[in-house]
Chain A
């Protein structure tokens, strides 16, 4: 990964959760998306190149259909951004992390929360 990521990898989302979750646990989730997170470019005179930079500016986390956390992000976040957050596992159901970039693309990763 890293600098070697090819264009076709953009938007691949990975979600990592603990192997077993019990009801009521506060669970830490780590997630990652392959994305260039374009940084500000400057021309020779040092002026900022005015273009629509492509970077993730919003990440939303939904659990059982409700938004429980969201990240507003800027270009100061690394390429292939990684985020971690927690949620309280109250019921079995879907956990979804959606990444939105400034070019209107969205990338989603989901996990099925089960107990046992």
Chain B
């Protein structure tokens, strides 16, 4: 059939491959630019959750997620946060994203971590800013789309967001 149309199998596959690469590049490049601006916005916690998760149901993740935050943060400019999820990290089922969200911050979405099975364990740590006393949430998105959430209140003595 390839002979009839004057196209060799190799040429067809080569073209398809190149098209695929371009499609892949377009897919990876475009959201990066859009999300880089979108992720950190001045908005309320409700608006942020609606924008990022589009109202998808969230289950209570207290059985699986360990959110390590201080009870009291004397300096809101540097608050250590660590999230550890008890979940398999295999290509079939793994933790895709860990979000850290600070309810009272002007920019509530703090970070989104994208993980792969090669990460070995669903774990992340970061130093974050907290503007005032409020809940800090860890939201976990698994590879099948399930969302789990835990939150804990952190008391902030001196806020760290300025402005």
Contacts and interface: CB of A to CB of B under 8 A. Distances in A.
Interface of A: 26-28, 30, 39-42, 48, 57-58, 63, 66-88, 90, 102
Interface residues of B, number: 39
Given A83-B125, A84-B126, A85-B125, A69 B114 contact: yes
Contacts of B120: 26-27, 86-88
Interface in B54-108: 77-80, 82, 102, 105-108
Interface string B26-46: 000000100110011010000
A85 B161 CA distance: 25
A77 B128 contact: yes
A75 B40 contact: yes
B92 to A, nearest CB: 16
Q: Which 4 A-B pairs have the closest CB atoms?
A: A74-B40, A84-B125, A88-B120, A26-B120
Interface of B: 32, 35-36, 39-40, 42, 77-80, 82, 102, 105-116, 118-121, 123-129, 160-163
B21 to A, nearest CB: 17
Contacts, number: 126
Most buried by A among B82, B109, B118, B128: B118
Q: Which of the listed residues B110, B119, B120, B124 has the most CB atoms from chain A within 10 Å of its own CB?
A: B120
Given A71-B113, A74-B110, A83 B126 contact: yes
B66 to A, nearest CB: 14
A74 B125 contact: no
A49 to B, nearest CB: 9
B113 A69 contact: yes
